[in-house]
Amino acid sequence: MLGSTVADDQEANVNRRQFLILAGATALPATARAQQNTVPTIGFLHLGSPIPFARQASAFRRGLSEEGFVEGQSVRVEYRYADSRDERLPAMASELVGRSVDVIAAIGPAAAAAAKTATSTIPIVFLVGTDPVADGLTASLPRPGGNLTGVSMLSFDLAPKRLELILELIGQVGPIGMLTNGNNAYAEHMIGDMQQAARAKKVQVSVMKVSSDAEIEAAFSTLVQLQTRALIVDPEPFLTTRSERIVAFAARHAIPAIYGWSLNVRAGGLISYGPSLEAANHQVGIYVGRILKGETPANLPVQQPTRFELTINLKTAEALHLTVPQTLLAAADKVLE
Give the tens place of pLDDT for each residue, 150-200. Answer: 999 987 679 899 999 999 999 877 899 999 998 887 888 888 889 999 999
- In the prediction, which pLDDT does 182 show? 86
Q: What is the CATH number of domain 156-276+308-336?
A: 3.40.50.2300
Backbone angles phi, psi at 79, to 5 degrees: -90, 135
Dist. CA 214–CA 226, nearest whole Å = 19
- In the prediction, which pLDDT does 30 show? 36
Question: Helices 54-66 and 277-292, interaxial angle, to 10°?
Answer: 40
Question: Helices 187-200 and 159-170, interaxial angle, to 10°?
Answer: 50
- At 110 the three-state DSSP class reads helix
- In the prediction, which pLDDT does 13 show? 46
Classify 40-155+277-299 by CATH class.
alpha beta
Is the CB of residue 71 less than 8 Å from the CB of residue 64? yes
Instruction: Give the CA distances from residue 316 to residues 52, 232, 293, 322, 329, in Å, rounded to whole numbers and listed in that order.
Output: 19, 16, 45, 9, 14
Is the CB of residue 60 less than 8 Å from the CB of residue 42? no
DSSP string, 216-227: HHHHHHHHHHTT
- At 235 the three-state DSSP class reads coil
- In the prediction, which pLDDT does 25 show? 40
pLDDT string in tens for the chain (337-residue length): 334 443 444 444 444 444 333 344 444 343 343 344 589 999 999 999 999 899 999 999 999 999 999 999 999 999 999 999 999 999 999 999 999 999 999 999 999 999 999 999 999 999 998 899 999 999 999 999 999 999 999 876 798 999 999 999 998 778 999 999 988 878 888 888 899 999 999 999 999 999 999 999 999 999 999 999 999 999 988 999 999 999 999 999 999 999 999 999 999 999 999 999 999 999 999 999 999 999 999 999 999 998 899 999 999 999 999 999 999 999 999 999 8
- CATH 3.40.50.2300 residue spans of the chain: 40-155+277-299, 156-276+308-336
In 133-268, the DSSP E strands lie at 148-152, 176-181, 205-210, 230-233, 257-259
- In the prediction, which pLDDT does 184 show? 83
pTM of the entire structure?
Answer: 0.84
- In the prediction, which pLDDT does 37 show? 57
- In the prediction, which pLDDT does 29 show? 41
